[in-house]
Amino acid sequence: MTDIPQRRVARTAKLASLPLGVAGRATVGLGKRITGMSSDAVTADLQARTAEQLFTVLGELKGGAMKFGQALSVFEAALPEDTAAPYRAALTKLQEAAPPMPTTTVHRVLDEQFGRRWPDRFQSFDEVPAAAASIGQVHRAVWADGRDVAVKLQYPGAGPALLADFTQLSRMAWLFSRMSPGLEVKPLLAELKHRVLEELDYALEADAQRQFAAAFADDPDIAIPRVVASAPKVIVTEWLEGTPLSRIITSGTQAERDQAGSLLALLHYSAPARAKLLHGDPHPGNFRILADGRLGVVDFGAVARLPEGFPEPLGRLTRLALNGDSDGVMREMRAQGFLRSGVAVDSQQVMDYLGPIVAPLVTPTFTFSRAWMRQQASRIADPRSQDARVGRQFNLPPSYLLIHRVTLGSIGVLCQLGATAPYRSLAEQWQPGFAQPAA
């Protein structure tokens, strides 16, 4: 493989192969049933093959296609268990790996960004990438001063590829909606498109990482690698050695899961207060547990800039919902734009809708699970249900969109971990407006 395929026709053809491949395998499945294979065996076979094609196509395209695949992987906890397994395995691959770009391309990027004498900056440089993600890949190296470093390089052609991918993926939202019931795919794509274009600016990413690293310097719980050097398409940071969160999800002990989940929740709640930023890409590939027990965090391309921290009205609204203050909830939701002027909705139905959402904050600790996540997705997704009808009356103001997606993504990872975490105490400590008694 060379650079990201940039021509619209080429990328569209690859993306189009997904639904065509599904249809083709369905035809093959019919033939297998005729020849005697059981329905369950055929279905499992089709799901496994479809999932593998999903990884192959999105991984090869990288860009927006792979970024969307990574976003879906966070929400796999909401999939019904009988269909989740094959997609879980394929989508999890997108959190840590993708087909790498050739060594000649790596050298070309480094030549352009650091000059042809770039090898003088390193004692050694591993030509085999340690990780490959949506718009860049990471190589391990040793800096001239002896520090182990991670060198993140952006794929050539990533910008045009992103625009082409999101346009085409929007047309295919129905396919991905079938994999993740209850997920509003088109708004997710629109928001991802806006945020991922910011990720192309590695200068912005380097500045965000420096801000995070300064805020969490010498922290006993959170480790942020410092930026060593940066250029428009390359970032060099300190290397973090640890156990990937994806491995803890698949094979960690319950104690390891609880610890990882608690640290992830701590990062989510405390970063806006401490760094004035919210890490905007909470998929497991961006986290690892270090040998000393800290949560290592990487990839700061997607962040929400929150100079005042978490919005105080959000904490106040949550507290009102917990207190069962329906009048206060309705007043606050209208004031913040969650309910548009003129929209008539029953206050008790709104409280019934919000009750399960704030459940993790009712008790000092809460045990997150895939079953709980599926239950929430199911009640909101069923168009015949009262909750679905109420939910369709709500509006999500643009200023809350990224916060909402990141919060859901973080909760999705907690559910994958099956972690018990002190969610309420963290909210009381870090969420403005939450700890104060409701007026």
Retrieve residue 110's tokens.
Answer: 């480094």
- 280 with 353, same domain: the answer is yes
Q: pLDDT tier at 437 (50, 70, 90 boundaries)? A: low
pLDDT, one tens digit per residue, over 323-363 is 999 999 999 999 998 887 888 889 999 999 899 889 999 99
Taking residues 97-103, report their average pLDDT.
71
- Residue 388's pLDDT is 79
Which residues, including other chains, have CB under 8 Å from residue 218's CB and lie 6 or more apart? none
CA atoms lying within 13 Å on the CB side of residue 431: 24
Q: What pTM value is reported for the model? A: 0.75
Question: 149 has which bridge partners?
Answer: 141, 238
If asked whether residues 363 and 432 sit together in one domain, one would say yes
Residue 40 lies in a domain: no
**Between residues 317 and 6, which one has the greater pLDDT?**
317
Q: Is residue 30 part of a domain?
A: no
Q: How far is CA 112 from the centre of its chain?
A: 30
User: Are 231 and 360 within one domain?
Assistant: no
Q: Which of 210, 238, 266 is the last residue of a domain?
A: 238
Examine the domain organization and report whether 230 and 263 are in the same domain. no
Which CA distances in Å does 193 have to 2, 64, 184, 187? 24, 7, 15, 10
* 218 lies in some domain: yes
Q: What percent of the chain has pLDDT over 70?
A: 67
Q: Is 9 within a domain?
A: no
Please compute the mean of the pLDDT values over residues 408-414 and round it to a whole number: 91
Q: Are residues 282 and 358 in the same domain?
A: yes
Instruction: Determine, yes or no, domain membership for 24.
Output: no
For residues 337 and 234, state if they share a domain.
no
Task: Check residue 44 and give its pLDDT.
Answer: 46
Mean pLDDT of 177-194: 55
Do the Cβ atoms of 97 and 132 come closer than 8 Å?
yes
Averaged pLDDT, 132-143: 86
- The domain total for the chain is 2
For residue 429, what pLDDT band results from cuts at 50, 70 and 90?
very high
Question: What is the Cα–Cα distance from 279 to 208, expressed in whole angstroms?
Answer: 9
Within this chain, do residues 299 and 426 fall inside the same structural domain, yes or no? yes
Mean of pLDDT values over 142-157: 94
- Helix crossing, 39-61 with 81-96: angle to 10°? 20
Q: Would the pLDDT of 106 be above 70? A: yes
Average pLDDT, the chain: 78
Whether residue 298 sits in one domain with residue 334: yes
Residues 223 and 251 in one domain: no
On whether both 248 and 269 belong to a single domain, the answer is: yes
Question: Residue 5 pLDDT more than 60?
Answer: no
Residue 46 has pLDDT above 50, yes or no: no
| Distances from the Cα of 434 to the Cα of 163, 425, 427, 438, angstroms | 39, 10, 7, 8
Residues 218 and 320 in one domain: no
Name, in order, each residue with C-beta under 8 angstroms of 200's C-beta and a sequence gap of 6 or more: 135, 154, 158, 159, 162
| pLDDT of the residue at 43 | 42
Within a domain: 303:
yes
Tell me, what CATH number does 136's domain have?
3.30.200.20
252 in the same domain as 217: no
Write out the residue range of the structural domain in which residue 246 sits: 241-439
For residue 387, pLDDT beyond 80? yes
- Residue 35 included in any domain: no
pLDDT bucket at 36, cuts 50 / 70 / 90:
very low
Q: Which amino acid is at 217?
A: A
| Lowest model confidence (mean pLDDT) among 18-22, 120-124, 220-224, 397-401 | 18-22
Rg (CA), the chain: 22
Asked whether residue 242 carries a pLDDT value surpassing 60, the answer given is yes
Residue 244 pLDDT more than 90? yes
Domain presence at residue 342? yes
